[in-house]
Amino acid sequence: MKKSSVSVRTDLRTDDVVVGVVEATRERRQFLKRSLGAAGAVAAVAAAPVRAADPIGKDFPGWSTTPGTPMRSYGQPSKFEEKVLRTVTPSYGPISPGTGTSRTPLQTLNGTITPNGLHFERHHNGVPEIDPAQHKLLIHGMVKKPLVFTVANLLRYPMVSRTCFVECAGNSSANTLPKPAQANCAAIHGLLSGSEWTGVSLSLLLDEAGVEPGAKWFLAEGADSAAMSRSVLLEKAYDDAIIALYQNGERIRPEQGYPLRLLVPGYQGNMNVKWLRRLELAAAPMHTKDETSKYSLLLRDGTARQFDFQLGVKSLITQPSGTLNVPGKGLHEISGLAWSGAGRIVKVEVSSDGGANWREAVLQGPVLSKALTRFRLPWEWSGAPAMLQSRATDEKGHVQPTRAAWSAIYSLANRYHNNMIQTWAVAADGSVSNVYL
């Protein structure tokens, strides 16, 4: 009984809207034909809406007719989104459960800012629980006076924000494997996230310590049990590096480096050293394990590029993408992310035929330097098999390479800086798979 009454009333409403549109159209026609007459007014009266019957509650779902839950001190996503999670991938299993990654579910997110709880993780020996009252940051080496900063002191410094991507240098390395992995966007490309980071300009702290002439590098070292350390060119400190204390407005989470991390926009994710405890200025790089045996780029000829920090121009269609089926023929929005360590994205092109023809996508503003940029393009899918690709260009003129162009430079055993064009094959049944072209 209830159901049928809803059905009837909905039909009436729908007819009502349609009628209204018809009458309005007729009115415009008449207006064009002659001058404004009485016919339009008559039509408006005929289209008066049918009102709901009382009591109205029976026609609404339960959440509209009962009081909701109270306020809570820290919000959580809807329970209906409980499957939107990071993909956790330990590197070595039980011998070191805290070593490995968790990957951002890019295929189920939209916009350009990653929720803090879904920002990817890469740890080399777990997440330390650091008491901010005991943590300190030491700046020493080639400085006039070595300085120690407490977290409380750093919080008193003038702050700046950087909206930028952080991408692990090893992101998308699955696509260097001989056969394309049949996995979702998170598993293949999820070592990528976007945030607004806020903190203290590194140059401000270095100036306070007084940089000695001849200093060209600084070593950044974490306070975790891996004591991860990287050498960074000093000029980055005077460009845009910050000591980040906040992520998307709240204090950085433990897995992102609480209480503070180095942020070097556009550089290898690994260089954004978390749980930062020490900066040592020097004339030369330290050649740490993570800048020699790891995070160096193996080329086809067997030599390796060392200290190649900036991540290349890259884009990726996130919807549709691996394992996300296209639900049927008709109009869909192709959507994805583009970014470059060199600056702003100026163009993203999309192909549905494996790169034979390209159409420029719309970039969603604001387009920020070294930040995730969302692109969108309507796609009328006929139901025929398609090969979807995206290709980004940045403001320095760098164009995202094809798989063949990338492989002409880098060894396929190189697991870093993979910015080759991704191809998603859409089959006639709408299933999406990862393919190499």
Partner 1 sequence: MFISKRLAVSAVAMLLLGACTTQSTLQQSSVPGPALGRVASADEVKAWSISIPPSGVGLPAGSGSVQQGLAVYTAKCVACHGEKGAGKPADAIAGGKGTLASADAVRTVGSYWPYATTLFDYVRRSMPVNAPMSLSNDEVYAVTAYMLNINAIVPAEAVMNAQTLPQVAMPNRAGFVDYSRK
Residue ranges that bind partner 1, judged by CB under 8 A: 92-93, 95-96, 99, 124-125, 138-140, 145-149, 153-154, 156-158, 178, 200, 204-205, 207-209, 219, 221, 225-227, 229, 233, 277-278, 280, 282, 284-289, 292-293, 296-298, 300-309, 411-413
| C-alpha span between 419 and 231 (Å, rounded) | 23
Q: Give whichever of 215 and 387 is closer to partner 1, judged by the CB atom.
A: 215
| C-alpha span between 262 and 239 (Å, rounded) | 13
Q: How far is the CB of 432 from partner 1 (least distance, A)?
A: 27
> Of 352, 287, 289, whose CA–CA distance to 317 is shortest?
352
Q: Give whichever of 226 and 313 is closer to partner 1, judged by the CB atom.
A: 226
Alpha-carbon distances of 352 from 41, 65, 163, 389, rounded to whole Å: 49, 47, 31, 7
The position carrying tokens 């709901």 is 52
Q: How far is the CB of 352 from partner 1 (least distance, A)?
A: 31
Q: Give whichever of 157 and 358 is closer to partner 1, judged by the CB atom.
A: 157
3-state secondary structure of 409: helix
Q: Give whichever of 24 and 215 is closer to partner 1, judged by the CB atom.
A: 215
Distance of CA 398 to the CA centre of its chain: 20
Q: How far is the CB of 101 from partner 1 (least distance, A)?
A: 16
Q: How far is the CB of 24 from partner 1 (least distance, A)?
A: 55
Q: Give whichever of 304 and 387 is closer to partner 1, judged by the CB atom.
A: 304
Q: How far is the CB of 129 from partner 1 (least distance, A)?
A: 15
| C-alpha span between 16 and 304 (Å, rounded) | 70
What would the two tokens of residue 271 be?
């260089």
Q: How far is the CB of 82 from partner 1 (least distance, A)?
A: 32
The position carrying tokens 């999820």 is 190
Q: How far is the CB of 142 from partner 1 (least distance, A)?
A: 12
3-state secondary structure of 405: helix
For helices 39-46 and 2-33, angle between their N-to-C axes, nearest 10 degrees: 180
Half-sphere exposure of 6 (CA within 13 A, CB side): 9
3-state secondary structure of 58: helix
Q: Give whichever of 153 and 382 is closer to partner 1, judged by the CB atom.
A: 153
Q: Give whichever of 158 and 214 is closer to partner 1, judged by the CB atom.
A: 158
